[in-house]
Amino acid sequence: MLNEEIGNNAGLVWSALVNGELNVKAVKKATKLTEKDLNLALGWLAREGKIQFNEVDGELLVALV
């Protein structure tokens, strides 16, 4: 059941990133996920090669690949 929830949360993150790159804080705000659930969803998408991370001035940015 946890895998299904993580997959659903990954879909929320995907939807938040459709319009472009966001910092992690903005993704969290857009999805209303807890930090733990957001991190699990980001890890899921990263493992599938669907997102990329960039760090600019110490801020972590996330974008769809």
* pLDDT value at residue 15: 98
* pLDDT value at residue 24: 98
Cβ neighbours of residue 43 closer than 8 Å, sequence gap 6 or more: none
The domains located in the chain, with CATH, are 2-64 (1.10.10.10)
Q: What is the pLDDT of residues 29-57, one digit of tens each?
A: 999 999 999 999 999 999 999 999 999 99
Q: What is the pTM of this model?
A: 0.94
Torsions phi, psi for 63 (to 5 deg): -145, 155
